[in-house]
Amino acid sequence: MKSTSRYSLARPSRRHWLGYLLLAPAVLLIALIIVYPLLVSLDLSFQNVGIPRLGQTRRPFTTVNYERLFASAEFWNACWVTFKLVVIVTFLCSLLGLATALLVNNKFKGRSLARLFVALPWAIPEVIAVVIFAWIFDSSFGLMNWLLVSLGLSDQMINWFSDPQAAFAVVCAVMIWKGYPFVSIMALAGLQSIPEDFYHAARVDGAGPWQRLVHITLPCLMPVLGVTMVLVMLWVFRDFSIIYVLTGGGPLKATQTLSIMTYEHAFGFFKMGYASAVGIVTLVVCIIASRLLIGRRAESIY
Amino acid sequence: MARILIDNVRKSYGAVTVLHGFSLDIRDGEFVVLVGPSGCGKSTMLKILAGLEDASSGRVLIGDSDVTDLAPGDRDIAMVFQNYALYPHLTVRKNMGFGLKMRGMKAAEIDRRVVEAARILGVEHLLDRRPRALSGGQRQRVALGRAIVREPQAFLMDEPLSNLDAKLRVHMRAEIAALHQRLGVTTVYVTHDQTEAMTMADRIVIMRDGTIQQIADPDTMFRRPANLFVAGFIGSPGMNFLRAAVTADESGARVRLYGQDIALPPAAAAAAQRSDGAVILGLRPEHLRLGGEGPITFSVLPELVESLGSEKYVYFAIPPEHQLGGEAPSEEERRGDMMIARLVDAGDIAAAEKLKLSFDPRNLHVFDINTRNAVREES
Amino acid sequence: MKARRIDRVLLYGTVVLTCAMLLFPVYWLFITAISPPDTLRSFPPRLWPEIAQWQTFATVTGQRPIGLWLWNSTIAALGAVAISMAVSVFAGYSLSRFRVRGGNSLGLFILTAKMLPATLLVIPLFGIFRSVDMIGSLWSIILAHSTLIVPFTTWMLKGYFDTIPRELEQAAMVDGCSPLGALFRVILPVATPGLAATALYGFVLSWSDYAYARTFLTNAQTNWTANLGITTMKGEYITDWNEISAASILVALPIIVIYLFLERYLVGGLTAGAEK
């Protein structure tokens, strides 16, 4: 028999140490690049500071950032824009994602190919998606304007990026196009885990396709869909690339979400204390919203 | 010397105790079966033996060494798992040789042992296949082979047959028994199936809720169960139980069944006194015979007759005064207040036709209602 | 209820139509790339240009260092994935197999980390990296991307390890491996598909970042990642759409290729944790 040291992790009494050991690198890394910066961020939000220099003596603690933030119209506008965006995009993404999943779940030749294609927008980098849609919605030569005019839906070329409502609509369009594949993929996985027997039993009971959808498919899918919708919501909340590259937050702040506002104040105006405050508030809202929506079942995402 | 000594092993997870003071002395070459319902702690005990779990207290000795805190690989044991746990990315040959390779054995010797074990188990033609290309029975054989090549001091088997279908299970049971005959290695075998326990064991350890109920060889456990639980667990279909009031006087203790008086050992009177004047009687289905030879004979109206060809199970109602209520060993044992008679070569029996049955009162088991223990003459 | 022919035709029709509509933007990108500029500035737009101009791909590569951009994105992604996987394989395994005190809190924290807006973390990271002179270096991106990747990969790997039966490492330990030995010799080889899928997902996550790249690398032209490079081609008022489209295709191609060939694994990784 091999003789091993008293502290060998192979011994039954010591084995649970291994659990801690294996977690250590991750905990260390997360502490370094996520926890520490988060704390710095929190710290910054309570300082009236432009560009912080680490190592410099700290500015005095002040809540002026938060006061200013809750009093500013810009902040509330950003909240409203974010809210609108989250609701519209999440709803339409889920609808489109679910519809495509239901469609592709049927058995037909070329089904795997269809699955592949339907979810392809997921693989397109956000910046590229912006390029595509910026061109399609180009006010002078874009495809969309041509379509609208020649189909008689509009009597003139719409200036998509100078009109606040129009710009918001384009942002929505891009986000929906980028976001629905995720819902589609998750919904499809959920659909495929519904036991065939449920449908067999329903057919024997005389249920038609619509009834099967409403009484079996949707209820079984609810948990997965619920989690997915929350994840989409969080993505819309957080997203920066799409809006920043497409509209920069304008025109007239019509597409300025909280995320954009944070960035603007940090790297546009170089008021990082204030920007951090906005960021912290955004994070808190995220956490509260997702907690409310999934509550104790947060572990199911984790 | 491959004797295994388990000395007062306890296992708790926080506030929940899964094993209460388990002690067992296993002789070299013995085939011991740990049996019991799910959650009784048998698998936990096996894992502690293997070193895959640590005991909260107590000692384990294999051979003459204290292995309580030794790594599984240092205990010189081999294990067979319920779902075989074959390494999917290795061929059968490499699967079987893995343990030997870990111990630094020379390739030639590994190969010799692997081929030899494969021959014994009839899997030489599968040596270069991957586990996913094998059937359930073949995988089980490979898992056994992986254990054999190690030539360990003991085999530990964790419900190895549970994933096989019924016919294959019967076949593999015989194979494992034959293997044990041939190799003579101490084996600790865990199962929830009392048939496996009865047919394979030198000794059975029956467990419930973390405690040992009885340790005995199969015949003894069948004929003299230590308590109500063991009596109901061993044997299929399980023992019939009746509640009977005991009258005790100078001539001894008796109960009245079907209008006839039956004498009981004196200890039964004492037991009855402690529990409202009643005891629980047990009678195995096979001890009921068709016809009126007696000594105790009675008539019943069968409610259901199940025919297995060679034998018939006849279900009939227990008279209300003898029904157990909440005192049955377990929910399953209540059987809807039915008794079963197991009749061999009984000819045609129709339900709803009155039937004459008899039994010998010497085959009655007596149990104390309070303690659930068997009442014996020498009490 | 047998499927009638008309049902099948309807189904196929719907599928084809849906795919066509949803993928049209990608097709349009391609058409724009091969159209001569003057075709783009005239109506009506055509489904296929009269004269396809394939040289745009070559010219744009000559004008802009697209190869360099792609190289930088790859380096950053490889670096970020390497660090993240190294850390989250062990963490995911630990969370799967061991009942660690605080394991639940760690899990909850990882969940929260997924909710972090990049625009929040970018501020302190900017300050931190500035004070160690890392702004402009690809290392800043590699570390920043790890903040994006680690929460996801840990979660995915934990879900994946959950599907591997514990008996496998138990058998390995009985065979003489230490717990770490069992992990490396048995579990990791068996988990290779899941590991690959998770790594690929991390790669895609890193590739798609823009916020960190823009903040840390804007002034270091030689270190521009692909996404950053593309956005510089979008002018305030004038954009050469055919050129930017061609460049976009070149930049998007690697991810599309990865996706097409490995969608099965990618999807598996995403959903492994989601539906239990």
- Domains of chain B (ranges; CATH) run 4-231 (3.40.50.300), 237-368 (2.40.50.140)
Residues 48-77 of C with CB under 8 A from A: none
Interface predicted TM-score (ipTM): 0.86
SS3 label, residue A99: helix
Same domain? For C13 and C105 the reply is: no
To the nearest whole Å, the CA of C6 is away from the closest chain B CA by 42
Res. C22 pLDDT band, cuts 50 70 90? very high
CB distance from C212 to chain A under 8 Å? no
Q: How many CB atoms lie within 10 A of CB C57?
A: 18
CB distance from B252 to chain A under 8 Å? no
Q: What is the pLDDT of residue A179?
A: 93
The strand ranges marked E within B203-350 are: 203-208, 211-216, 240-249, 252-257, 260-264, 278-283, 289-290, 296-300, 304-307, 311-317, 338-344
C267 contact residues in A (CB cutoff 8 A): 185, 189
Top-confidence residue, B188 or C264: B188
Q: What is the pLDDT of residue B11?
A: 94
The chains in contact with chain A, meaning 3 or more Cβ pairs closer than 8 Å, are B, C
Rounded mean pLDDT of chain C?
86
Which residue from B52, B55, B71 is facing A4, i.e. has the nearest CB?
B71
**Separation in Å, CA B352 to CA B287, B298, B336, B348, B355:** 22, 16, 18, 13, 9
Q: What is the pLDDT of residue B378?
A: 54
Q: Do C174 and B78 touch (CB under 8 A)?
A: yes
A1 contact residues in B (CB cutoff 8 A): 65, 70, 74-76
Number of structural domains in chain C? 2
C215 contact residues in A (CB cutoff 8 A): 267
C91 contact residues in A (CB cutoff 8 A): 22-23, 25-27
Q: Which of A5-14, A212-221, C243-252 has the lowest mean pLDDT?
A: A5-14
Q: Which of A248-252, B197-201, B232-236, C144-148 has the lowest mean pLDDT?
A: A248-252
Percent of chain C with pLDDT over 70: 94
**Separation in Å, CA B105 to CA B99, B108, B119, B150:** 9, 8, 20, 11
Rounded mean pLDDT of chain B?
88
Q: What fold does the segment set A37-49+59-301 form as a domain?
A: MetI-like fold (1.10.3720)
To the nearest whole Å, the CA of A10 is away from the closest chain B CA by 5
Same domain? For C125 and C34 the reply is: no
CB distance from A18 to chain B under 8 Å? no
A25 contact residues in C (CB cutoff 8 A): 86-87, 90-91
- Please say if the pLDDT value at position A92 is more than 50: yes
Q: What is the pLDDT of residue C270?
A: 60
SS3 label, residue B306: strand
Nearest CA in chain C to B98: C175
Nearest CA in chain C to A300: C274
C188 contact residues in B (CB cutoff 8 A): none
C26 is in which domain, residue-wise? 5-53
Task: Compute the average pLDDT of residues A16-23.
Answer: 88
Nearest CA in chain B to A13: B54
Q: Do B73 and C177 touch (CB under 8 A)?
A: yes
Helix A126-136 vs helix A143-150: crossing angle, to nearest 10: 40
CB distance from B51 to chain A under 8 Å? yes
- Please say if the pLDDT value at position B53 is more than 60: yes
Task: Compute the average pLDDT of residues C101-124.
Answer: 81
The chains in contact with chain C, meaning 3 or more Cβ pairs closer than 8 Å, are A, B
Q: Do A302 and C155 touch (CB under 8 A)?
A: yes
Q: What's the CATH code of the domain at C73?
A: 1.10.3720.10
Res. C276 pLDDT band, cuts 50 70 90? very low
Top-confidence residue, B239 or C112: B239
Top-confidence residue, B273 or A174: A174
**What is the residue whose two structure tokens read 């704390």?**
A39
Domains in chain A: boundaries: 37-49+59-301
Same domain? For C213 and C262 the reply is: yes
Q: Which of B45-49, B280-284, C236-240 has the lowest mean pLDDT?
A: C236-240
Question: Distance between CA A189 and CA C21 in Å, rounded?
Answer: 23
Chosen from B45, B54, B64, B103 to mutate, greatest number of chain A CBs within 10 A: B54
**Separation in Å, CA B343 to CA B231, B290, B334, B357:** 20, 7, 21, 10
Q: Do C267 and A189 touch (CB under 8 A)?
A: yes
Q: Which of B363-367, C234-238, C249-253 has the lowest mean pLDDT?
A: C234-238
Q: Do B74 and A4 touch (CB under 8 A)?
A: yes
Number of alpha carbons in the 13 Å side-chain half-sphere of residue C219: 5
**Tokens describing residue B90:** 């290795």
Res. C85 pLDDT band, cuts 50 70 90? very high
**What phi, psi does A132 have (nearest 5°)?**
-60, -50
Res. A302 pLDDT band, cuts 50 70 90? very low
CB distance from A19 to chain B under 8 Å? no
Taking only the tens place, the pLDDT of each residue in B17-33 is 999 999 999 999 999 99
Same domain? For C111 and C130 the reply is: yes
Element (H, E) at C68: helix C66-97
- Please say if the pLDDT value at position C274 is more than 50: no
Q: Report the phi/psi class of residue C156: left, alpha or beta, with left for phi > 0 and alpha for psi in -120 to 50.
A: alpha
Chosen from C170, C173, C175, C184 to mutate, greatest number of chain B CBs within 10 A: C175
Q: What is the pLDDT of residue B326?
A: 64
Taking only the tens place, the pLDDT of each residue in B214-270 is 999 999 999 999 998 999 899 888 899 888 888 887 777 888 888 888 888 878 888
Taking only the tens place, the pLDDT of each residue in C186-195 is 999 999 888 9
Same domain? For C25 and C113 the reply is: no
- Please say if the pLDDT value at position A11 is more than 70: yes
- Please say if the pLDDT value at position A291 is more than 50: yes
Which residue from B51, B54, B76 is facing A1, i.e. has the nearest CB?
B76
Residues 166-195 of B with CB under 8 A from A: none
Q: What is the pLDDT of residue B355?
A: 86
Res. A4 pLDDT band, cuts 50 70 90? low
CB distance from C168 to chain A under 8 Å? no
B54 contact residues in A (CB cutoff 8 A): 11-13, 15
Q: What is the pLDDT of residue B111?
A: 93
- Please say if the pLDDT value at position A165 is more than 50: yes
Task: Compute the average pLDDT of residues A286-298.
Answer: 72
* Alpha helices, DSSP H, located in chain B: 42-50, 92-102, 107-121, 136-149, 166-183, 194-200, 218-223, 228-233, 266-274, 331-334
To the nearest whole Å, the CA of A18 is away from the closest chain B CA by 14
Q: What is the pLDDT of residue B213?
A: 94
Helix A111-118 vs helix A73-104: crossing angle, to nearest 10: 170
To the nearest whole Å, the CA of C232 is away from the closest chain B CA by 48
- Please say if the pLDDT value at position C3 is more than 80: no
To the nearest whole Å, the CA of B89 is away from the closest chain C CA by 6
- Please say if the pLDDT value at position B379 is more than 60: no
Res. C260 pLDDT band, cuts 50 70 90? confident
Taking only the tens place, the pLDDT of each residue in B119-146 is 999 999 999 999 999 998 899 999 999 9
Q: Which of A59-63, B207-211, B367-371 has the lowest mean pLDDT?
A: A59-63
A290 contact residues in C (CB cutoff 8 A): 115
- Please say if the pLDDT value at position C273 is more than 50: no
For A212-262, the three-class secondary structure string (H helix, E strand, C coil) is: HHHHHHHHHHHHHHHHHHHHHHHHHHHCCHHHHHHCCCCCCCCCCCHHHHH
Question: Distance between CA A55 and CA B247 in Å, rounded?
Answer: 94
Same domain? For C49 and C86 the reply is: no
Q: Do A146 and C114 touch (CB under 8 A)?
A: no
Q: Do C179 and A18 touch (CB under 8 A)?
A: yes
SS3 label, residue B191: strand
Q: Do A13 and B52 touch (CB under 8 A)?
A: no
Cβ–Cβ < 8 Å for B218, B197: yes
**Separation in Å, CA A96 to CA A90, A188, B3, B292:** 10, 12, 67, 78
Same domain? For C78 and C34 the reply is: no
Q: Do C210 and A127 touch (CB under 8 A)?
A: yes
Q: What is the pLDDT of residue B154?
A: 94
- Please say if the pLDDT value at position A298 is more than 70: no
**Tokens describing residue A107:** 């058995």
Percent of chain A with pLDDT over 90: 31
Q: What is the pLDDT of residue A297?
A: 53
Q: Do B52 and C174 touch (CB under 8 A)?
A: yes
Q: What is the pLDDT of residue B58?
A: 93
Percent of chain B with pLDDT over 70: 96
Q: What is the pLDDT of residue C275?
A: 39
Nearest CA in chain B to C166: B85
| Chain A, chain B: beta-carbon pairs less than 8 Å apart | 32
Q: Do B73 and C186 touch (CB under 8 A)?
A: no
Which residue from C19, C91, C267 is facing A26, i.e. has the nearest CB?
C91
Q: Do A286 and C117 touch (CB under 8 A)?
A: yes
A138 contact residues in C (CB cutoff 8 A): 241
A30 contact residues in C (CB cutoff 8 A): 109-110, 113, 150
Cβ–Cβ < 8 Å for A165, A278: no
Res. B332 pLDDT band, cuts 50 70 90? low
Q: What is the pLDDT of residue B267?
A: 81
Q: Do C11 and A106 touch (CB under 8 A)?
A: yes
Res. A109 pLDDT band, cuts 50 70 90? confident
Q: Do B81 and C170 touch (CB under 8 A)?
A: yes
Query: Is the N-terminal amide bond of B237 cis, ω within 30° of 0?
Result: yes
